[in-house]
Chains A and B, each alone.
Chain A
Amino acid sequence: MPAKTLCEIVVAVGYGRGVVGEQPLIYAEGLVKRFGDFVAVDGIDFQVRAGEAFGFLGPNGAGKSSTMRMIGCVSRPSGGVLRILGMDPVRQGAQIRARLGVCPQLDTLDQDLTVRENLITYARFFGIPRREARRRADALLEFVRLADRAGGKVEPLSGGMKRRLSIARALVNEPDIVLLDEPTTGLDPQARHLVWERLFQLKRQGTTLVLTTHYMDEAEQLCDRLVVMDGGRIVAEGSPRSLIETYCPAEVLELRFADGTPGEYADKLAGVGERLDPLPDRLLVYTDDGDEALAEVHRRGLIPSATLVRRATLEDVFLHLTGRTLVE
């Protein structure tokens, strides 16, 4: 298929990685997941190539986790095409799972086992010999900085430590693809940064990461490429930077007013910036020059109670695409 090859060339050049004509590790076309009448995933297309960090971004209920479970071969697609590592997840699930590392949204660590035994036992499920399993367990505990907790139980670990242990467990079979479902949800900022740092290191080593998140900063930090999902569909696709450039001017001016609704002020500020977005608590002005827009606000005789000029983020992209903020 010449069209597809051309597309792959464009993609390979565009992202500067992968060999031209190389098969994507994950290929989905018109992928659907239904639960009874409810359509969780409504015909999505995407491809994940070797070595990239690919993100599914979207609010709760967007279909991210359902998609991840289909990729993890623990949920049957209801329709469309899904190929993982060139294989069919329905017929070759076990073979595919042997080459995936899965870090679930809720920790599924084994409370009856020690931290180290958790990794060794898990390695055994992949048929890894015990001696090799011990070696990998020790190396991975170093990697996620839990070596000092190796002999202890799982239960007393903090949320961040448990998540790091889950990540270590996902790496025990030296997977081709690591699936991370909301890897830092529920973690405090410090714990998040440590998880990010470890994931970043994995990425540098060339591990293919597929993650879901509803955090903008997470997607911007970790993902080479991402799709924005909403209501089971993909509403945008690209690198974080290109998405922002496509859908938003460079800067955002945030205005808060002491009295009146942001909607009323939107009328008074018509024509300022490229676009105005009144939120319940503040007014966003999308513009290429935030300071100039602020000066115009003052020229029109309006005195905001607080102002902020910042760079546009994925949050703004999402807001623009769906009309809603991401974390509600």
Chain B
Amino acid sequence: MVIALLAARRSAGRVGAVVGRNIGAMRSGPSYLLVLLSGLAEPLLYLLSIGVGVGALIGTMELDDGSRVPYAVFVAPAMLAVSAMSGALAETTFNFFHKMKYARLYDAVLATPVGPFELVLGELTWAMIRGALYSGIFLAVMVALGLVPAPGAAAAFPAALLVGLAFGGFGAAISTYLRGWEDFDLVSTGQFALFLFSGTFVPVRDYPAVLEVVVRLTPLYHAVELLRGLALWRLEWGLLASLAYLVVMALGGLWLASRRLARFMFP
């Protein structure tokens, strides 16, 4: 028991050291910080252009429970989900892949007592910190624009972190399968398809039946459902299913990524 606790503490220290490496990288120059901030800009621009701009043309949207909300209120939680997704994916696909294959950073890290699981967990934790920053600022903008009540924002924040964790784990696992930079086109295409068709701009029930079934299997749909339900405070049982989906995705991604990394790094 004592040994297990000591081991856990030592392991937590190693995870922390991996996070600390990224904080060091951020502090060492403006370039990485700029990359971090630019990740926030995209969903904010969509929120303003489509949510507020297009929203003025559309007026209100009918929710599943029959009530009507302004279009910007409908779109904003989805943009929050997208922001959490892209923040996590940027860190765990592009950066993870670069560090693993080109910068050979993980060769150096794994020559120390830090193991593959601790390394992936540390990178995910960092992606979470980055995601928390994005989600926090995004929610603050939503509150300032009157798009979400404060309690809804408070409930949506931890859920947004879970969304980041789920996509982060998934992204790290994907990175281990990528062959080269050309494969990133596939990743960004997939990401864009999710962005467009996950009930982000249009309710999924308006899709053709086949497409609706497909969409209900994809991760961003569940992220949008969960965040929209919490932000608009429409609590239904379905949210639990989305919650479970994201938890399984986070754990599965973490497990697969560390396993694959171990195999790649320790042939």
Interface residues of A in 294-310 (CB under 8 A from B): none
Q: Mark A95-125, 1 if CB is under 8 A from B, else 0.
A: 1011010101010111111100100111011
* A74 located at the interface, meaning its Cβ lies under 8 Å from any Cβ of chain B in the complex: yes
Cβ B17 vs Cβ A127 within 8 A: yes
CB B18 to nearest CB in A, in angstroms, measures 8
CB B122 to nearest CB in A, in angstroms, measures 10
* A125 vs B10: C-alpha distance when bound (angstroms): 10
Cβ B25 vs Cβ A74 within 8 A: no
* A126 located at the interface, meaning its Cβ lies under 8 Å from any Cβ of chain B in the complex: yes
* A112 vs B17: C-alpha distance when bound (angstroms): 15
Q: Which of B105-113, B177-185, B241-249 contacts A (4 or more CB under 8 A)?
A: B105-113
Interface residues of A in 59-111 (CB under 8 A from B): 72, 74-76, 93-95, 97-98, 100, 102, 104, 106, 108-111
Contact partners of A125 in chain B: CB under 8 A: 14, 17-18, 109, 112-114
* Tally of B interface residues using CB under 8 Å: 28
Cβ B105 vs Cβ A108 within 8 A: yes
User: B114: nearest residue on chain A (CB-CB)?
Assistant: A125
Interface residues of A in 107-152 (CB under 8 A from B): 108-114, 117, 120-122, 124-127
Cβ A112 vs Cβ B266 within 8 A: no
Given contacts A74-B111, A97-B111, A102-B111, contact A124 B20 (CB under 8 A): yes
User: A-B contact count, CB below 8 Å?
Assistant: 79
Partner of B17, one of A95, A100, A124: A124
Interface residues of A in 229-285 (CB under 8 A from B): none
Partner of B25, one of A95, A100, A108, A113: A113
Q: Mark A2-45, 1 if CB is under 8 A from B, else 0.
A: 00000000000000000000000000000000010000000000
Contact partners of B267 in chain A: CB under 8 A: 35, 75
Cβ A122 vs Cβ B112 within 8 A: yes
Contact partners of A127 in chain B: CB under 8 A: 10, 13-14, 17, 113
Interface size class of A (residues with CB under 8 A): 20 to 34
CB A105 to nearest CB in B, in angstroms, measures 10
Partner of B111, one of A104, A113, A120: A104
Partner of A72, one of B16, B103, B111: B111
Cβ B266 vs Cβ A74 within 8 A: yes
Name the residue among B16, B29, B113 with the largest chain A CB count within 10 angstroms: B113
Interface residues of B in 102-131 (CB under 8 A from A): 103-105, 107-115
Cβ A108 vs Cβ B21 within 8 A: no
Contact partners of B111 in chain A: CB under 8 A: 72, 74, 97, 100, 102, 104
Name the residue among B13, B18, B108, B266 with the largest chain A CB count within 10 angstroms: B108
Contact partners of A112 in chain B: CB under 8 A: 24-25, 28-29, 32
Contact partners of B251 in chain A: CB under 8 A: none
Contact partners of B20 in chain A: CB under 8 A: 121, 124
Cβ A108 vs Cβ B113 within 8 A: no
User: A169: nearest residue on chain B (CB-CB)?
Assistant: B108
User: B7: nearest residue on chain A (CB-CB)?
Assistant: A94
CB B207 to nearest CB in A, in angstroms, measures 43
* B265 located at the interface, meaning its Cβ lies under 8 Å from any Cβ of chain A in the complex: yes
Listed in ascending order, the chain B residues whose CB lies under 8 Å from chain A are 10, 13-14, 16-18, 20-21, 24-25, 28-29, 32, 103-105, 107-115, 265-267
| A–B Cβ pairs within 8 angstroms, 12 of them | A74-B107, A74-B266, A106-B104, A109-B108, A110-B21, A110-B103, A113-B28, A121-B17, A124-B20, A124-B21, A125-B112, A125-B113
**For the complex of A and B, 3 pairs with smallest distance between CB atoms:** A112-B25, A124-B17, A125-B112
